[in-house]
Structure 1
Amino acid sequence: MYRRSLALLLLAGVAVLASVSCTKDYVTGKSTFNLMSESSEVALGKEADPQIVAEYGLYDDANLTAYVDGIGQSIARVSQRPNLQYTFRVVDSPIVNAFALPGGYVYFTRGILAHFNSEAELAGVMGHEIGHVVARHGAEQQSKAQLAQLGLGLGNILSEDFRRISGVAELGLSLIFLKFSRSQESESDLLGVEYSTKLGYDAREMAGFFRTIARLSDDGGGRMPVFLSTHPDPGQRETRVAQLAAEWQAKIPFTPKTLDRKDYLRMIDGIVYGDDPRQGFVENNVFYHPELRFQFPVPAKWALMNSPSAVQMMNAEKNAMIEFSLGRGDSPKAAAGSFVQNAQAQVIREQATRVHGLPAHEVESQVQTQNNVLHLLSYFIQKGNAIYVFHGYTTNALYPTYAATFKSVMVGFDELRNQAALQKQPLRVRIERVEKAGDLATVLRGYRTEEKTLSELAILNGMTLQDQVKRGDYIKVVR
């Protein structure tokens, strides 16, 4: 059995290596290692895009989305892969982030758009993300991951002990590729400078945005380490990108665009800031969803993570979880049957029931996973035309400990009638024209800004609290 498995795996390895495509690097013109064809690269991005949208949701602002897309398409046209079809999306997340998938899919969070203070900053970061696509960094990393998995597979067959330390081996592999990833980030910085400079943007403003990233890292409890990050240290990037910007402006006939900071600020006036309570929030151990008009209790001291696709709650010991999501089926019983079939669950008991007058179906079951047997309590509840699903799960041994907690959450599902919760609105970035000059701290206090948020708003404005603000300048406030 061992020899047959090893032979099959080695044959698979030969097949993988035989399919290696030494494709052209669009940036250097040289051949580059890649297991993924360009058509596969595009297909990978196309397949992953709906998952990204489901996880984060799209930000509902057609004008802002069109604005971001317009800048992205302009930069794509001056890149080394202008014929690739690019898709640019604004996702509904407060996290300050931008990222790209293989095949031309580029995403900006509303959080990062709120923190930009000029179109040039946006264009520089956009160029950086398009650089990842042009240089096929995602495809390269995917190829390396395939070889890494092949190596781990051999190790798992050869040694039982290797399985016990495979987590360490995976960390080692990630550290091996970490330096290469930082090299990719540096290459994308260079491409971001090149593309934005060709369009007349001052790429030194992208360098300045790295100062914002560094301040956000500091504000979050500690500086991003230089040698254990997939991104270079923000301070180092700021210096290097500023140097590259000067070099590129001298290298080409540089004609600077006429830009005004207030034009960008007007584009983001009203953008949601921080978590959006309309998509769900927790207050006094109750989760409220104003848009979908439901609520349910949250166990005390359990962590909760809310996304457009699911709500997940986990206990402090991290050995029990409750997941809430939309189900599929024409009725609670049909949705339960679909779950049992797809999960190959062994039903212990099930019954039709009602939850606060709503039709429901309760199922207790066991599901065999690769490493364990999970014991689940599930509720399928119909509200209007939607079927909502709760799954509470833990190990067989711990199920008696958490069964009552699971059930209390699920039978607590109810119509949201609390008017204060229904009317809860998000904080938004508002753009204000300064009427009286002063340092930023004094100006912000003039807009009734709380003392505890002054530093946060200074970062949001790309300034320090001591910076002088002139009458007629525009600043961001949050309310």
Structure 2
Amino acid sequence: MLALWRHGSLALRKRLAALALPALLLVACGGDQNALLPPERPADGEFAPRISTVQRASDREHQRLLAAFGGEYRAPKARAALDDVVQRLAKASEGQIGAYEITILNSPVVNAFALPTGRLYVTRGLLALANDTSEIASVLAHEIAHVTAQHAVERAERELESALVSQVVSQVLKDPAQGAAVQAGSKLSLARFSRQQELTADQISVRNISRAGYDPYGAGRFLGALGRNTAFRNSAQNQSADDKRLDILSSHPQTPERIAAVTAAARQIGAPGIGEHDAARWLAAIDGLAYGDDPRDGVVRGRRYLNSALRIAFSAPEGFSLEAARDMVIGVSANGAQALRFDSVTLKAGQTLESYVATGWIEGVETTGVEKLEISGQPAVVATGKGTDWTFRLAAVQAGDRVYRFILAARGGNDPSRAMQSVLDSFRSLAPTEAQAVRPMQIRLVAASAGDTPASMAARMPEQERALELFMLLNGLDRNGALTPGQRYKIIAE
């Protein structure tokens, strides 16, 4: 997989979430990313990187992407704007494979993908981050560059060579020390190869958007927005961007390196101010776009979680930040010392709630002190768990054959019982009218009046945590940046 958009996450968060896309989608990246999916190896074990093989796998990979990223999101205005950009880029492209088809994925994460057949994918989270047409054109041009340069085929060939090296090491050399050194060198070669592919796609995309008439500096602006988005998310997890050290085996070039490269490429074309921005058209295209969680999967409002499909709600402990996924909720305390997970499972036939909890559902965690009680009128069980580095409080609430599970983990010997009690006290069922009232947040355009400031505009987003930072991020504003009266800016509202 070739990756572009990415952000880090807490190690414990990864363990609690345990979310994994199919292996094909996770060849070399994780987090929010852009990727060109490589063709699969045929059943006979012989890899033949022919376009026919890729075409046979395309429909299957399309369905896997839809399943992993919330399905297709219908946004006619945004789709029409994207189609226009793709058509212009295809005409100006340094290579052509045929027609391109774009799909908007119903996910709040910042993500973009491409299949070798020319299927392009962008999430609505990525669309929200762009502020003009040239910026979104840079994303699509990068994807098209991966496709036309056949990077998936090249990467697959390299990985096949790497697998062959590993086989030789294990079967011929029979020298553990030398074998480890050879395999490490092979992995490093693959990582450098992927980073070079990303930089190459960047260079091609700058030339392509310029030939299509767009501002070539749009690529640098959008990469800068990605960097700020990563810092925004990291700071919510009590981590600074500087704490994220780039692993030498990572396939992702550092964002500052890429910004410098695309800016230099743009300067070779001309001075700033050339090319089309068309901010007004792009902002009009995403006005009303859903932002954040899909209500069908549950929504986060500050520390509150509401799920209209399950008709339940609860609140995280004070100081926690929440993030909803399709089948779970993850929370992390401000100091990173505690973490929360919520999800649901179905009991097996004849299985009791007590026996389920007593057996333990966290691998490597011993469950003790199982206690029956009632939570919000429903039978429930709470227990204590102990792992190597974490102390756990576990709770399970039964509703028919469905079990709602809460895990609250505290680092070391700290007891998270008080935090868990606050969560359970807040757990409740939603009335039908409450469930129907849960609406997605949307991007709204608001014209700045004389005297408006980023703070006054952010005050219109009361449901958003760190609203001022989010407003600045979404609108590409620098710190202490002034607003232009009459200009429209993005806010998040129902």
Scaled to the shorter chain, the TM-score interval is 0.5 to 0.7
- Report the equivalent of 1:276: 294
Is residue 2:210 matched to residue 1:197? yes
Contact 1:299 1:409 in 2 (8 A): no
2:450 is matched with which residue: 432, 436, 439? 436
Local SS of the residue matching 1:468: coil
TM-superposition CA deviations, 1:145-171 (whole Å, max 9, x none) = 2333344455556799969x98x9877
Number of residue pairs aligned between Structure 1 and Structure 2: 389
- Report the equivalent of 1:6: none
Local SS of the residue matching 1:190: helix
Local SS of the residue matching 2:241: coil
The separation in 1 between residues aligned to 2:64 and 2:83, in whole angstroms, is 20
- Report the equivalent of 1:242: 263
Q: Which has the larger radius of gyration?
A: 1
How many Å apart are 1:462 and its aligned residue? 0.6
Is residue 2:50 matched to residue 1:37? yes
Is residue 2:223 matched to residue 1:210? yes
Describe the shift of the 1:283–1:243 C-alpha distance in structure 2 as closer, same or farther (beyond 3 A): closer
Report matched runs for 1:36-435 at 5 Å.
36-57=49-70, 58-153=72-167, 155=169, 173-219=186-232, 220=234, 221-223=240-242, 225=245, 228=248, 229-249=250-270, 256-257=275-276, 259-281=277-299, 288-290=306-308, 292-295=309-312, 307-308=325-326, 310-311=327-328, 350-351=349-350, 408-409=396-397, 411=399, 412=403, 417=431, 419-435=433-449
Describe the shift of the 1:304–1:436 C-alpha distance in structure 2 as closer, same or farther (beyond 3 A): closer
Contact 2:316 2:322 in 1 (8 A): no
Contact 2:311 2:435 in 1 (8 A): no
Local SS of the residue matching 1:230: coil
Local SS of the residue matching 2:442: strand
Aligned residue type for 2:283:
L
Describe the shift of the 1:456–1:288 C-alpha distance in structure 2 as closer, same or farther (beyond 3 A): closer
Local SS of the residue matching 2:476: coil
Aligned residue type for 2:241:
G
Local SS of the residue matching 1:88: strand
Q: Structure 1: where are the runs of 5+ without partners?
A: 1-14, 21-34, 337-349, 356-362, 365-374, 378-391
Aligned residue type for 1:209:
F
The separation in 2 between residues aligned to 1:190 and 1:179, in whole angstroms, is 17
Aligned residue type for 1:237:
R
How many Å apart are 1:297 and its aligned residue? 9.0
The separation in 1 between residues aligned to 2:435 and 2:287, in whole angstroms, is 25
Local SS of the residue matching 1:99: strand
Sequence identity of aligned pairs in percent? 23
Local SS of the residue matching 2:466: helix
Contact 1:90 1:110 in 2 (8 A): yes
Contact 1:305 1:312 in 2 (8 A): yes
The separation in 2 between residues aligned to 1:436 and 1:82, in whole angstroms, is 48
How many Å apart are 1:425 and its aligned residue? 2.1
**What is the aligned-residue RMSD (CA, Å)?**
4.9
Q: Taking structure 2 as the reference length, what is the TM-score of the superposition? A: 0.63
Q: Structure 2: where are the runs of 5+ without partners?
A: 1-41, 235-239, 371-380, 384-393, 405-427
